[in-house]
Chains A and B, each alone.
Chain A
């Protein structure tokens, strides 16, 4: 059987490979058509649920990302430049800022922090991360996140002389979370 295969002409190689690729592409296109709606809905749902966690209000959240200049925020504690992904206005209570804190152990942390009008943090949420399972992944633990509630001013880990107890064995992840919160506070200051 391999004898016939070895002698197959250039044309047949191209045709077979092209047909396999075309069929795969067609199937994938179809699957994409079916799933694109539900995936967008799920992403939106995750965002809404996270907003409720970091700053619970009765009404809806308003996307006010346009009102912010879009510049990355440089955090004084670590000197890290944090890109701002989105800003939401939570009625008259304050703002929720979504940032991409770049210096996690496994890359950028997509996270949210709520800041009220007095500059106090109301809560944080990690939207997605690639931290080590069992170490940095503990940053999603609500018990650990609870200590951010009510803090203000400059946020940092106790090792650097600030108020947040870092996750055991994951100081880098903890610092990255603090960067995101500091950036959120700075963004809300500029918005007043």
Chain B
């Protein structure tokens, strides 16, 4: 397995959010402040990596016909475990991420990678795939968050910097509130996907012209 290719696949060419268009639901729902994006990204990264490793280890035992049921059991178990452990030992983090953790069960990035990668590849490669795809997801969420937070609330680093309020960049009266409402999520996602597609396809076009 080519580690470098896997890395770039996760980050750009096969980015789970911006190219594979997986996990749209959490992407639209939670990308309203920097903290949310990083928190959700990190939770998905951890659970995706764990689930990938277990599913890869079990790939020769799990019968084809019931594979989806098996994957869901594994994923749901990991999510519940993480949820309970956070609640018990890191209550502060659990309070802020509490809303997102149960959402991860239905995040199709994890099922998508289980089906598309971990069930066909070795444990090491699957673990790397989990880390890289999780990282790509986190980067995509963070980009969405920064744009929406800046336009919608006029701040940067909401939930993290300046005692949780974020640093005010635009005056509060001039912001477009709609950008942190669901409609802003769709607008931002569309623009970001278009931008990624534009830059991914650009070099090819110039080559064609050169010929």
Chain A residues engaging chain B, CB cutoff 8 angstroms: 1-2, 5-6, 8, 12-13, 16-17, 20-21, 24, 27-28, 31-32, 34-35, 37-39, 42, 45-46, 128, 130, 132-135, 168-169
The residues of A that contact B198 with a CB separation of less than 8 Å are: none
Chain B residues engaging chain A, CB cutoff 8 angstroms: 30, 32-33, 36, 58, 60-66, 69-70, 73-74, 76-77, 80-81, 84-85, 87-89, 91, 98-99, 149, 152-153, 158-159, 172, 177, 180-181
Contact status B69-A17, CB under 8 Å = yes
- Smallest Cβ distance from A132 to chain B, in angstroms? 7
Given A42-B91, A134-B32, A134-B180, A6-B84 contact (CB < 8 Å): no
> In the complex the two chains form, what is the Cα distance from A60 to B68 in whole Å?
52
> In the complex the two chains form, what is the Cα distance from A31 to B79 in whole Å?
12
Contact status B158-A134, CB under 8 Å = yes
Given A24-B74, A134-B180, A6-B32 contact (CB < 8 Å): no
> In the complex the two chains form, what is the Cα distance from A17 to B180 in whole Å?
42
> In the complex the two chains form, what is the Cα distance from A128 to B95 in whole Å?
9
The residues of A that contact B85 with a CB separation of less than 8 Å are: 31, 35
Given A16-B61, A38-B88, A28-B70 contact (CB < 8 Å): no
Which of A20, A32, A46, A128 has most B Cβ within 10 Å?
A: A20
- Chain A binding surface, main DSSP class: helix
The residues of A that contact B158 with a CB separation of less than 8 Å are: 133-134
Instruction: Return the chain B residue nearest A46 by Cβ.
Output: B91
Contact status A1-B60, CB under 8 Å = yes
The residues of A that contact B70 with a CB separation of less than 8 Å are: 16-17, 20
The residues of A that contact B99 with a CB separation of less than 8 Å are: 130
> In the complex the two chains form, what is the Cα distance from A147 to B80 in whole Å?
39
> In the complex the two chains form, what is the Cα distance from A164 to B84 in whole Å?
38
- Smallest Cβ distance from A179 to chain B, in angstroms? 22
- Name 25 interchain pairs, CB-CB below 8 A, sorted by A: A5-B64, A6-B65, A17-B63, A17-B70, A20-B73, A24-B76, A24-B77, A28-B77, A28-B80, A31-B84, A31-B85, A34-B88, A35-B87, A35-B89, A39-B88, A128-B98, A132-B32, A132-B180, A132-B181, A133-B180, A134-B32, A134-B149, A134-B153, A134-B158, A134-B180
